[in-house]
Structure 1
Amino acid sequence: MITLKQRLVQQAMSEGFEACKLCRPWDVPQVPDRLTAFVQNGYHGQMTWLAERQNWRGNPAALWPEARSVIMLAESYTPKDDPMATLAQGDVGTVSVYARNKDYHDTLKKRLKRLARWLIAEAGGEVKVFVDTAPVPEKPLGQAAGLGWQGKHTNLVSRELGSWFFIGSIFTTLEIETDPAEIDHCGSCRACVEVCPTNAFPAPHELDARRCISYLTIEHKGPVNEELRGLMGNRIYGCDDCLAICPWNKFAVEAREVKYHARDDLKAPKLAHLAVLDDASFRKTFSGSPIKRIGRDRFVRNVLYAIGNSGDGALHAVAQGLCDDPDPTVADAARWAVKRLADAANGLA
């Protein structure tokens, strides 16, 4: 007779997930100490919620004490093209693969809710669905359930999916058979640590978010430290270098979900166009995109850093036009970009 676990996995696959594994909420005893060290080192930067919600993020069992099983699900967003191909093109911006189309939170959560409703109809119990917006340690739970292991870049890696997959979870009061935890398969490889443009990894498996370009372009408010601006290149929203370089990606297959396929205008967007977006045009351009949540000012700040790093004199006038922007951080970024371009023209950069 087919078990509930087997039926659950079959249903998850039919919903479009690439993998479905289970663990217990208490299967990540290492998380509290790691999280405490992360916060005490100040690695969380301006992400104060990590410190404020340590108890929940450090102990999934405390988030919902009645939960007995955690269903961990993986959904691929593997790109068709090399996401690092635009890094050498000075006049365009590089957007993280996951943000080149629709917001994955919405797409993934709908899929999770459908699976959760199926589970209730099949077996009863109660459920809670989470997608990266609650204090849930998704990556350690993913490893405990066997989805993959946390690589030296701290992200989850799978032998079947590489580094390109989203994680969602369903907590349930049902006791369902679990899967064995995954072990580390990185070996001696240090590619992800060594490729980081800003040296954001003090050691393998350890991330200082304050130096991470994903953090700097998305979470960090206000001006970025000048030492780091020049290292950001043309990365205007997120950074995929440590993911893209992973050799396990050779087994990854292109995302099936068309909402994760890159929009044509975000594959290599022109910096000159993005820099002059006002609030209304920014909102229109990025409607339904995760980029929208950082707002026009922070986004244009990132674009101006990319312009400053471009060495492209044709972008000088664009940056100059924003030196008196109403937002002081944008104005500061514009003045920095103007100086960088002038220095580059004079052979000083």
Structure 2
Amino acid sequence: MFSNNIQSFVILNIYILIIVNVILLFSIYYEIIKDKIKKKHYEKSSIYLKPKIISYLNDENQKAEVCRTLKNTYLKIVAIDIMLDYAEVNHVNLSEQFVNLDLVNLLIKKFKKKMNIVYLKKLALMGSKNAYNVLMDSAQSEDLDISYMSYFGLSRIKIQNDKKEAAIKKLVVSNIVTDRIIEILRQFDLEFIDWLELLEKEETVKGKFIFIKTIMVKDEIKSEEYSDRMEKFLKDQREVKIAAIQALCNSQNEKYIAELIKIYENEENWQVRVAVAKGLSSFKFKDVEDALLNMTKDSEWWVRYNAIKSIVAMGEDGLFSLIDLSLKSKDENISDLAYYFLNSNQDVYNTVKNIEV
């Protein structure tokens, strides 16, 4: 009797397991089929809408026709995707067209109802000033994805400088990773002089570092009237000092070489010395050759490494200088490091072997 009860219990559990697996299988198939239906519906809607949307973008007199076509929220979302793709491919700003079709307000309402990153990304890419307030609010979110995308959207909006600067100041003190902050800041459309003023007003080490890193890649840094304003930051905290060294090197103005070498010679912090060793590769080799060769004797390995790396990066003159260093240096560590760099390039390696022979 007991054995029969166990057998019945086992059989019942087997049936239950089979039923559960069948239900799971049907659920998976249902989701697959549902996704396929959604995709086909989206593709069909996109094919239907695209020529009408393109016609409107080429001729705004077609607005009434497009508005009649966009008769529900789903079609409006598809239209947004079509317009965003068009803007990216053709490198055009469609912020006004999004507003004219009332698509910005649609996404703002949807995003306020549910803070969905998909809606936010579309809103950010629109670049509409109508989204400024909602993006400023969502930028304060503890969700870093929401915060990042909000600031990215703010960087794309053409608005007055005071509003741009308000967004920039909040971004600089945000919890977003520093590299990502710099990445977003470089998207903001500000005059170089405005960036300099923001930098000179900034009091925090983090803020000054971020602003210098933001502007150091801009062409205007090569203008002496701007690059001269970087010099005062050479006396700042280590992180700011390193960024200022990089900015002055990027200027490629030879007038700063002597000052940079002086910093190297008097600097105890090896990271600052590394920055100088890296940065000197921006100048003509003949002007920095002696300094770089001297840096190959530095007590810190990373300084020696970057000095030799800079020499390698400076063309044929640098390579021949490095060949001499690898063959003639009395310091085995220096010659080995120089030979390592030369050996990593097969053509240079063959040259060295021929000289040795």
Structure 2 length as normaliser, TM-score? Answer: 0.28
Which structure ranks higher in relative contact order (CA pairs < 8 Å, sequence separation ≥ 6)? 1
Question: Which one has the largest radius of gyration?
Answer: 2
Which structure carries more strand by proportion? 1
